[in-house]
């Protein structure tokens, strides 16, 4: 746990200094890093390509951006923090009167020391984000504003990794990678996704696992554009974000609301005592809004700790390496693994001796208090026998019995080994 | 609002002095008055006609009714208040010993100054209603009782107004008109129905609107007798009663319980903070008990303020012009209009771009805090886009989004205007 | 009530002294007793017979069992209490060192004066149960242990009584008879079942009633083995146990959860104010675990007072004739009768005049406060008329109206007598 926590934190640390946006060199550097951890297929979609209702924007690259006094003192410098520049700012190099400049500045009066994060991808503009306490000190009549950026035909970069499974269905794991120098949102999601892919590589998998590392919205839209058949292929999935802060876990349901992944995540959070952190679907948030658009309606929920907008550091310079912790990252990975493992293991068992109870004693299944402790209570064993009628899944049984899924699954494994259970043919 | 309140109150004031029963001249005067406000078809059904399980009773008319002392002092006089006479009292003119007279008197010991309202339509009888404090002063050994009434073949009068709509379904609006000199129950219902008909006349209507002004029970039974196909024609409906008192609104569900009108009324009352005033169906009350009899089972609920029996003035002389107020009447009309408009506007929208989210910015649908305020939140717009899958109606969307129906409808109109929504073919 | 209570208590008193186990002479004596009260068919299934997954065990008979000091003082004597001997103890006659003996002793440190009840049907063993205060006085280095028992081929005895009904479906009433000298668990169940059979014999019955008096588990398994078609024949049923203690009633639902018997029992307990004593199904307890095994899944619940394990006298020598009372036994019989009568009477009535309300007055169904009191409120009459649409059963109506079933049934009977209701053809 400590080791994996450190590993996860190291990914966040390595990616934090890179300046990212929805296109451009930082995005590619990020994908390069991921590609060194897990086998990744990177795709470039040219600017101007129509994807669903959207068009791939020009590629944006930044060389420098400053606000200086007329006597050459630097007031705001992009080189100091990537959040200083509004994303997709147009180039500019001129003296700007303070009044005009103010219309291009963004700060947080209630958090005067923090730099906010702002973008203007689809509206031509330029602007700076800065600490409010710095902004209030701007009193000169005019400032020299220099933004050395390029907005030019290029491409949108998407990373995709696929681990095949025994069955046809795929599990979608999606993390956005467009946020610049924000640690929890969303380097934590990238780190956890990398580690999950590494873990799964070593395992036999029932489902295939498809990892998407893409810029928010436009990336998901582009991928869905290429995968119109997603509904038929995607068995379930999760968007990963904000998984490194110290807050308790949060699960936001998919639009379907009670799909397998929704039930697995809700079972895990309830079992952990976080039933109040299971949120209903809403058509805003992260890329689940694309996956859950009505034409696709994929069973894809969103796993978080503190949800977007619900922690004070959200979308500010305070979402830095001090906000995320190895322990929180490791805990998130462990929970994610538990949820996905449940979906892997769930099936509808069939009692091979459904008429009356089978005799447990001769099969070594009658445990007395002096026997070695079993990973399940005798009551759980009886529940599995009683409900294994090809209509109840292990998860159904766990919910009716009020026991953890894993305990029910352990009992089912023992019963299977004794020939008392088999799997239903059709899921 | 003030003007419409005064108009509504004026109807109640004009009708209050008329003595009404389930048949007879006062009933016709009442229909004449309504017919001067809106186009009304009046029908006369002869006494003795079989209607469903009932028979149209003889027509009853009253000329005078008094109780006098032997020395000629009038103790009770129908001319002073129409409630004094038990409806359908037989004629009588004789000296009645006090003991016998007491069996024919009705008063309210707990409300000693009020005259109760009593009827005996289907059992031959006679009787007087009087203030209990007057009754206790009756100490003479006998009184001269004179009831000059006629019970003779005549007819039952029914008033009906119909406003055709674009679609085939009809909305039933039913008000009973048989109560004598009671303002809230039910002149308020008549007044609100008249004003609603006037409002609807000026509008394009999706549904037809059928207004019924009829004596309670026998009138509804007679109309249903003639309209055995009501189930096929009536899309939904409301019984209107007790709409003028100062109490909060009440909605009593139809037998179906969750029909469109039930959901619209429940949505409106919930949105107004009156969720606790939504009552389940019971097979007693007003004419909904006929409309909701099992052979018809029409989706017809009952809109009220203080429900029958739940206000102290109910069925007494205190249900007079001082109980109802212009403001309460206007508020009732406005609520009724809102409920019926919801049913008019509800439909299942279909997202024309269901794959991923459509781009809002280029369509002028991306609103920033500095834009003019919209009649809907951006979240509501996103809910409509997300749930417009031909399976969710606007009302379904409003309920899932937890937003007022009208806000959802406004968002849907804007999206339709932008070509992002169309209507599902089949409702 | 007093008489029937005494009768029930007399059955318990007559059966209490008999030593019973799952086979053997005491079991036959018990069936003999039952057979003297009601016509009983007794069946003997030979040891070694395979029944479902089980095998009928050898027959066990006990002549004597003692623990003596070496100088001949008797410390524990089966002749004093049948609970002293662990059931199915093998014969033994030798001096046993105290250390070894302790491994064969069972006592209750928390209830030091009580003898516990223990069995070892399916594992070769021997042992004694004794008061903990007696056990702690055992200090000799060795004791003379004599168990004079026989485990030999014989048979398993099952008692069955059947009362045919007008319809094909059968009601299963099951009581286990294998417990030795325990009054509440389960002589109370046997006594109530006997009295129920006697009551039902004198009545016209819609369903057939099948009474099973059998040793727990192996008896139910054997019966089910012979009755693989039980699912098709058994309309519903109840396991009877722990019906004589002074605790409030308890109902444990069948696996189906909302079958007719579940709803009837839940209605009765709710109506009596014991809604909190309605328990969900669990796959442990009494023979409902066999009847509700997934292959059979019979709608068979369990009626009790204090549930097994939930009263301190459970499975100890304190479950004696002082624990059960005539009043509790009579109350249990009365509740059982009420539940089963509801299931007999329930049906889906059809309103013969479903269009509008029928006129009640001319049919003598319009009751005024001065009329004789009726066994039902007028509101109940209106509910029955309103919901008698061939889709609602009397129980459905009772639940929607919030009235006791019997009141609804009384109203339905009166309406039927007036020709206003008929029965739906198909249940």
pLDDT in tens, A6-55: 999 999 999 999 999 999 999 999 999 999 999 999 999 999 999 999 99
**Does B362 sit within 8 Å of A122, measured CB to CB?**
yes
The pLDDT of C252-266, averaged and rounded, is: 98
Task: Say if residue C225 carries a ligand binding annotation.
Answer: no
Indicate where chain B has its CATH 3.40.630.10 domain(s): 2-56+155-345
- DSSP assignment letter at B91: P
Return the residue in B224, B252, B294, B300 with the most chain C beta carbons within 10 A, the one to mutate for interface testing.
B294
Task: Say if residue B271 carries a ligand binding annotation.
Answer: no
Which residues are CB-contacts of A8 (< 8 A; sequence separation ≥ 6)?
A188, A191, A192, A195, A244, A326, A329, A330, A333
CATH class of B62-152: alpha beta
Instruction: Round to whole Å and give the CA distance between A252 and A244.
Output: 17
Instruction: Round to whole Å and give the CA distance between A308 and A279.
Output: 13
Distances (CA, A) of C371 to A77, B108, C357, C368: 95, 20, 22, 5
Q: Which CATH number fits domain A2-56+155-252+273-338: 3.30.365.10, 3.40.50.150, 3.40.630.10, 3.90.1200.10?
A: 3.40.630.10
Q: How many CB pairs under 8 A join A and C?
A: 64
Using a CB–CB cutoff of 8 Å, tell me whether B52 touches chain C. Answer: yes
Instruction: Round to whole Å and give the CA distance between A415 and B369.
Output: 61
The pLDDT of A398-417, averaged and rounded, is: 97
Using a CB–CB cutoff of 8 Å, tell me whether A280 touches chain C. Answer: no
* Closest residue on chain B to C362 (Cα): B122
Smallest Cβ–Cβ distance between B386 and the set A225, A228, A293 belongs to A293
In angstroms, the separation between the Cα of residue C19 and the nearest Cα of chain A is 26
Q: Is the pLDDT of residue A118 over 80?
A: yes
In angstroms, the separation between the Cα of residue C80 and the nearest Cα of chain A is 29
**Does A382 sit within 8 Å of C284, measured CB to CB?**
yes
Instruction: Round to whole Å and give the CA distance between A160 and A245.
Output: 26
pLDDT in tens, chain B (427 residues): 579 999 999 999 999 999 999 999 999 999 999 999 999 999 999 999 999 999 999 999 999 999 999 999 999 999 999 999 999 999 999 999 999 999 999 999 999 999 999 999 988 999 999 999 999 999 999 999 999 999 999 999 999 999 999 999 999 999 999 999 999 998 999 999 999 999 999 999 999 999 999 999 999 999 999 999 999 999 999 999 999 999 999 999 999 999 999 999 999 999 999 999 999 999 999 999 999 999 999 999 999 999 988 899 999 999 999 999 999 999 999 999 999 999 999 999 999 999 999 999 899 898 776 777 889 999 999 999 999 999 999 999 999 999 999 999 999 999 999 999 987 654 4
- State the CB neighbour count (10 A cutoff) for residue C281: 19
Q: Which pLDDT tens digit goes with each residue over A56-97? A: 999 999 999 999 999 999 999 999 999 999 999 999 999 999
pLDDT of residue A425: 59
pLDDT grade, residue C425 (50/70/90)? low
* Closest residue on chain A to B351 (Cα): A294
Q: Which CATH number fits domain C349-423: 3.40.640.10, 3.30.70.20, 1.10.10.10, 2.60.40.10?
A: 1.10.10.10
The hierarchical CATH code for the domain C2-56+155-345 is 3.40.630.10
Residues of B in contact with A221 (CB under 8 A): 356-357
**Does A52 sit within 8 Å of B355, measured CB to CB?**
yes
**Does C386 sit within 8 Å of B292, measured CB to CB?**
yes
Indicate where chain B has its CATH 3.50.30.90 domain(s): 62-152
Distances (CA, A) of C173 to B421, C235, C306, C330, C422: 62, 11, 19, 17, 31
Residues of B in contact with A255 (CB under 8 A): 386
Helices vs strands, H then E, count in chain A? 13, 18
Instruction: Round to whole Å and give the CA distance between C296 and C233.
Output: 11
The pLDDT of C210-238, averaged and rounded, is: 97
Indicate where chain A has its CATH 3.50.30.90 domain(s): 61-152
**A260-271 and A394-401 helices, crossing angle to 10°:** 40
Q: Which pLDDT tens digit goes with each residue over A365-396? A: 987 767 778 899 999 999 999 999 999 999 99
Return the residue in B349, B351, B355 with the most chain A beta carbons within 10 A, the one to mutate for interface testing.
B355
**Does A255 sit within 8 Å of B386, measured CB to CB?**
yes
What tokens were used for A186? Answer: 């969303």
**C394-401 and C260-271 helices, crossing angle to 10°:** 40
The pLDDT of C345-364, averaged and rounded, is: 95
CATH class of A61-152: alpha beta
What tokens were used for B400? Answer: 């899932």
Using a CB–CB cutoff of 8 Å, tell me whether C230 touches chain A. Answer: no
Q: What are the strands, taking DSSP E only, across B34-103?
A: 41-46, 50-51, 54-55, 59-68, 74-77, 92-97
Instruction: Round to whole Å and give the CA distance between A140 and A187.
Output: 38
Distances (CA, A) of A43 to A31, A238, C108: 10, 22, 73
* Cis peptide bond upstream of A214, omega within 30: no
Which residues are CB-contacts of C319 (< 8 A; sequence separation ≥ 6)?
C182, C183, C184, C185, C313
Indicate where chain B has its CATH 1.10.10.10 domain(s): 349-423
Using a CB–CB cutoff of 8 Å, tell me whether A230 touches chain B. Answer: no
pLDDT of residue C122: 87
pLDDT of residue C309: 86
pLDDT grade, residue A131 (50/70/90)? very high
Place of tokens 């003795």: B48
pLDDT of residue A427: 47
pLDDT of residue B425: 58
Residues of A in contact with C221 (CB under 8 A): 356-357
* Closest residue on chain A to C229 (Cα): A355
In angstroms, the separation between the Cα of residue A357 and the nearest Cα of chain C is 6
pLDDT of residue C63: 97
Q: Which pLDDT tens digit goes with each residue over A167-209? A: 999 999 999 999 999 999 989 999 999 999 999 999 999 999 9
Residues of B in contact with A288 (CB under 8 A): none
ipTM score? 0.94
Instruction: Round to whole Å and give the CA distance between C15 and A38.
Output: 76
Q: For chain B, how long is the longest CA-to-CA vector? A: 93
Using a CB–CB cutoff of 8 Å, tell me whether C282 touches chain A. Answer: yes
Return the residue in A103, A120, A224, A294 with the most chain B beta carbons within 10 A, the one to mutate for interface testing.
A294
Smallest Cβ–Cβ distance between C294 and the set A354, A359, A361 belongs to A354
Annotated binding site of A: 179, 185, 315
* Cis peptide bond upstream of A186, omega within 30: yes
Percent of chain A whose predicted confidence (pLDDT) is above 90: 93
Q: Which pLDDT tens digit goes with each residue over C52-77? A: 999 999 999 999 999 999 999 999 99
Q: Which pLDDT tens digit goes with each residue over C73-125? A: 999 999 999 999 999 999 999 999 999 999 999 999 999 999 999 999 988 99
Using a CB–CB cutoff of 8 Å, tell me whether A362 touches chain C. Answer: yes
Residues of A in contact with B391 (CB under 8 A): none
In angstroms, the separation between the Cα of residue C252 and the nearest Cα of chain A is 15
Chains that touch B (3 or more CB pairs under 8 A): A, C
Residues of A in contact with B360 (CB under 8 A): none
**Does B293 sit within 8 Å of C355, measured CB to CB?**
yes
Instruction: Round to whole Å and give the CA distance between B58 and B393.
Output: 49
Any idea which fold C60-152 has? Glucose Oxidase; domain 1 (3.50.30)
Using a CB–CB cutoff of 8 Å, tell me whether C373 touches chain A. Answer: no
Residues of A in contact with B362 (CB under 8 A): 122
**Does B385 sit within 8 Å of A296, measured CB to CB?**
no
- State the CB neighbour count (10 A cutoff) for residue A147: 22
Which residues are CB-contacts of C103 (< 8 A; sequence separation ≥ 6)?
none
In angstroms, the separation between the Cα of residue A358 and the nearest Cα of chain C is 5
Chains that touch A (3 or more CB pairs under 8 A): B, C
Using a CB–CB cutoff of 8 Å, tell me whether A381 touches chain C. Answer: no
Residues of B in contact with C385 (CB under 8 A): 283, 293-294
In angstroms, the separation between the Cα of residue A186 and the nearest Cα of chain B is 21
């Amino acid at each position: 746990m400590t080791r994996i926590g450190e590993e996860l934190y190291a990914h966040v640390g390595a990616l934090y200094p890179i300046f990212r946006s929805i296109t451009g060199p930082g995005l590619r550097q990020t994908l390069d890093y991921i590609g060194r951890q897990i086998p990744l297929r990177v795709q470039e979609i040219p600017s101007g390509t129509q994807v669903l209702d959207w068009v791939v924007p020009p590629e944006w690259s930044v060389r420098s951006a400053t606000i200086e006094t007329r006597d050459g003192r630097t007031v705001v410098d992009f080189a100091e923090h990537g959040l200083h520049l509004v994303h997709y700012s147009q180039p500019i190099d001129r003296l700007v009167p303070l009044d005009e400049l103010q219309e291009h500045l963004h700060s947080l009066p209630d958090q005067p020391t923090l730099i906010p994060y702002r973008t203007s991808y689809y509206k031509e503009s330029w602007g700076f984000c800065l600490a409010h306490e710095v902004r209030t000190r701007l009193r000169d009549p005019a400032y020299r504003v220099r933004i050395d950026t390029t907005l030019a035909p290029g491409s949108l970069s998407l990373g995709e990794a696929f681990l095949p499974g025994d069955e046809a269905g795929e599990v979608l794991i999606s993390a956005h990678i467009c946020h610049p120098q924000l640690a929890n949102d969303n380097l934590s999601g990238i780190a956890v996704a990398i580690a999950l892919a590494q873990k799964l590589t070593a395992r036999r998998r029932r489902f295939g696992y498809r990892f998407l590392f893409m810029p928010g919205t436009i990336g998901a839209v582009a991928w869905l554009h290429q995968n119109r058949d997603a509904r038929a292929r995607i068995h379930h999935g999760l968007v990963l974000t904000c998984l490194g802060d110290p807050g308790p876990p949060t699960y936001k349901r998919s639009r379907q609301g009670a799909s397998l992944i929704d039930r697995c995540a809700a079972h895990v959070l309830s079992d952990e005592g976080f039933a109040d952190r299971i949120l209903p679907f809403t058509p805003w948030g992260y890329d689940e809004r694309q996956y859950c658009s009505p034409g696709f309606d994929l069973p894809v929920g969103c796993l978080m700790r503190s949800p977007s907008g619900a922690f004070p550091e959200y979308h500010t310079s305070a979402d830095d390496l001090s906000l995320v912790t190895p322990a929180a990252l490791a805990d998130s990975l462990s929970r994610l693994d538990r949820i996905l493992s449940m979906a892997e293991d769930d099936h509808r068992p069939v009692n091979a001796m459904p008429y009356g109870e089978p005799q447990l004693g001769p099969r070594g299944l009658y445990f007395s208090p002096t026997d070695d402790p079993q990973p399940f209570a005798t009551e759980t064993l009886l529940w599995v026998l009683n409900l294994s009628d090809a209509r109840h899944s292990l998860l159904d049984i766990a919910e009716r019995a009020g026991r953890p899924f894993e305990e029910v699954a352990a009992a089912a494994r023992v019963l299977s080994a004794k020939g008392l259970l088999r799997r239903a043919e059709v899921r």
